[in-house]
């Protein structure tokens, strides 16, 4: 009996995930099956639509639902947490033929926005008033420095580029004091200062052959915005 019940449950699960490929288990009326399918898919779709609003609008209803249906049917999540479904969707997108060339990067950008907004990470030990030249500047846990081939912060229903720009899109995504997620374009020097070069502020600026006064002004401005929280 236990084995039969388990097989019936597996059969039902396969059907609910992919009713086209897997027949329904015997003995369950179609009305109930349809309700189960709509509730389960609707829950996943609504969660993803809330996490990727720009991607959903830009792909359009037909393409979006086809993509979510395939994710729901074929991807095997390794976590039971609903809060991790968006990250699982981005992982799924990495393994498929994209619908558009910018699809994965736009999804990743929206995932980062959501993670920054929801983050409850504690800041590491730091000196809020530390000297940003003598010490090592430290970014807040709700600040992310990102680089993309596509201008993800501009893409939407009205702008869907076919070719990537010659220069990468360098972005700073951060949460301000009012708990709003903001973004700012970064110059190549600012990107390298925050993301690539290690050491004290002075060492980083010297490695970049940057003007110390201008570099310090940039770091101080970022501290005022809460992006740089001080020195390590």
pTM of the model: 0.89
| pLDDT at residue 180, as a whole number | 96
| pLDDT at residue 36, as a whole number | 74
**Whole-angstrom Cα distance, residue 18 to residue 3?**
22
| pLDDT at residue 31, as a whole number | 76
- Buried b / exposed e across 33-71, counting CB within 10 Å, b at 16+? beeeeeeebeebbebbeebbebbbebbeeeebeebbbeb
| pLDDT at residue 55, as a whole number | 98
Taking 70 as the pLDDT cut, the residues of the chain under it are: 1-2, 4-5, 7-9, 11-12, 15-16, 22, 24, 26-27
| pLDDT at residue 232, as a whole number | 92
| pLDDT at residue 222, as a whole number | 97
Where do the domains of the chain lie, and which CATH numbers do they carry? Answer: 2-99 (1.10.150), 137-231 (3.90.930.50)
| pLDDT at residue 39, as a whole number | 82
| pLDDT at residue 1, as a whole number | 46
| pLDDT at residue 78, as a whole number | 80
């Amino acid at each position: 009996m236990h084995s039969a019940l388990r097989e019936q449950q597996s059969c039902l699960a396969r059907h609910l995930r992919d009713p086209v490929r897997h027949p329904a288990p015997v003995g369950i009326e179609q009305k109930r099956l349809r309700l189960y399918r709509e509730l389960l898919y609707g829950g996943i779709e609504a969660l993803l639509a809330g996490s990727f609003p720009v991607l959903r609008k830009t792909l359009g209803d037909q393409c979006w639902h086809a993509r979510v249906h395939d994710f729901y049917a074929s991807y095997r999540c390794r976590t039971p947490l609903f809060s991790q479904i968006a990250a699982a969707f981005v992982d799924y997108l990495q393994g498929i033929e994209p619908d558009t060339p910018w699809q994965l990067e736009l999804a990743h950008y929206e995932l980062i926005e959501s993670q920054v907004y929801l983050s409850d990470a504690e800041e590491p030990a730091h000196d809020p008033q530390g000297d940003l030249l003598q010490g090592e500047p430290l970014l807040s846990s709700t600040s992310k420095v990102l680089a993309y081939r596509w201008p993800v912060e501009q893409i939407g229903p009205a702008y869907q580029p076919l070719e990537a720009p010659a220069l990468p899109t360098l972005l700073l995504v951060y949460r301000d004091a009012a708990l709003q997620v903001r973004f700012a374009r970064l110059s190549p020097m600012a990107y390298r200062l925050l993301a690539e070069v290690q050491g004290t502020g002075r060492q980083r600026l010297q490695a970049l052959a940057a003007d110390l006064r201008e570099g310090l002004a940039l770091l101080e401005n970022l501290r005022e915005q809460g992006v740089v929280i001080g020195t390590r």
